[in-house]
Chain A
Amino acid sequence: MTEAAALSPETVMRQMKDNGVTDIVWLPDSETNWLYLLMQADPDLRLIGVTREGHACSIAAGLFSGGRKPMMLIQNTGMLESGDSIRGWLMGLNIPIVLMVGYRGYTRHGVNTDTAATYTERFLMAFGLQFYLVENDADSARITIAFQEAERTRQPVVVLVGDEYHGFNR
């Protein structure tokens, strides 16, 4: 059995473009540097850098309220500390948005030494947030499914990026 290709930043960019994303509200994590360079080179994509992940929620809510289609790009550690903002500004205002969340500590087999990974899915389940795991390019269609689900439910949907040590940090 051959190992599946890593999740490439180009694939993620294609998913963003195919789903009409206009703005990325984000805070860098250990996986997104190459993706950042791609996003920065795209003149049709506005990057809004935040200094704490929770800030991204109300910014995204404002963007959506004014007719844009934002996406959030953060790490699971930041998601954990953003709970009240996710609740109030995204879930409470019915904002249909995809959060791409770097899954720090993810090891696929559930044996990990990083509590950021330990609590990530528990957090999502506690909030009742739908989520999809994406580990490689073959999984990328799930990103579109997440966008479709966000639109249908008018709620945030999370894509967990379980590829910390491969393509995102060239």
Chain B
Amino acid sequence: MMHTADLLQIFAEHRNDAIVISGRGGKHWIALSDTVTDIPLGDPAMGGHAGFGLGLALAQPNKRVVLFDSEGDILMSLGQLVTIAEQAPENFYHFILDNEVYATTGGQPVPGSKVVDYAAMAKAAGYPRAFNIDALDDFRDALPGILSGPGPVFVSLKVWPEVENTPIGQRVRWRKKSADKVVQDLREALGVDR
């Protein structure tokens, strides 16, 4: 098991100019990087981050797009793995943070959390490369090779759950901008806003 903040710290050293959809790692990533190509969307509707990453990667084929998704999200939309594999964007790097629980609702177990092989699922869906990593040293060693090869690549990362039990209305809001403003700022930065 890894701590999300630790693995994101390592990733930051290799990020270069990638667009980063921080997804379930958002509250840690924003402390490391907060530019217009960091895309903290919060949770517009669970299960959709992979699709957003796919669309952005297809629209910007000359930029690497990195997504930190979760196992709960992909289980909600497994078919998206097939669509991503079929479209095969070479610039898409799909990480999931697998904490085995629904952390934001109090830590209830995700179905199948102890047995599901997410990398095998991604491979079976058609991803050319897929990995399961559960130790920080292994992540540090593997990351340069993961990012230097073509996508789509899928990487499942075992992380410690960070369970939140306070009522949602009392939680600290870490996002600085609304999700629609994040999108608007990205489009302006990419020069695609009409």
User: A residues near B, CB below 8 A?
Assistant: 23, 25, 46, 48-52, 54-68, 70, 84-85, 87-89, 92-95
Among A23, A55, A66, A67, the residue within 8 A (CB) of B51 is: A55
| Size range of the chain B interface in the assembly | 35 or more
Structural contact, A66 and B60, CB atoms closer than 8 A: yes
Binding site secondary structure of chain B: helix
Least distance between B126 CB and chain A CB atoms (Å): 12
Structural contact, B179 and A93, CB atoms closer than 8 A: yes
Which 6 residue pairs of A and B lie closest in terms of their CB atoms, listed nearest first? A62-B55, A66-B59, A67-B192, A51-B79, A88-B45, A58-B48
**Binary per-residue interface labels of chain B (14-52) against chain A in the complex, 1 for a CB within 8 Å, 0 otherwise:** 000000000000000000000000010101110111111
Query: What is the bound-complex CA distance between A62 and B58, given in angstroms?
Result: 8
Structural contact, B82 and A51, CB atoms closer than 8 A: yes
A residues near B50, Cβ cutoff 8 Å? 58
Structural contact, B87 and A48, CB atoms closer than 8 A: yes
Given contacts A46-B58, A55-B51, A67-B60, contact A89 B83 (CB under 8 A): no
**Binary per-residue interface labels of chain B (171-194) against chain A in the complex, 1 for a CB within 8 Å, 0 otherwise:** 000000001100110110011100
From B76, which residue of chain A is reached at the shortest CB distance? A54
Given contacts A66-B59, A67-B59, A84-B45, contact A52 B52 (CB under 8 A): no
Of B44, B51, B57, B192, most A-chain CB atoms within 10 Å: B51
Structural contact, B183 and A59, CB atoms closer than 8 A: no
Least distance between B60 CB and chain A CB atoms (Å): 4
From A65, which residue of chain B is reached at the shortest CB distance? B183
B residues near A92, Cβ cutoff 8 Å? 44-45, 179-180
Query: What is the bound-complex CA distance between A168 and B4, given in angstroms?
Result: 50
**CB<8 Å pairs between A and B, sample of 27:** A46-B58, A50-B51, A50-B83, A51-B80, A52-B79, A54-B47, A55-B79, A56-B51, A57-B45, A57-B51, A58-B50, A59-B55, A62-B53, A62-B55, A64-B55, A64-B59, A65-B52, A65-B183, A65-B187, A66-B55, A66-B190, A68-B58, A85-B45, A85-B48, A88-B43, A88-B48, A94-B180
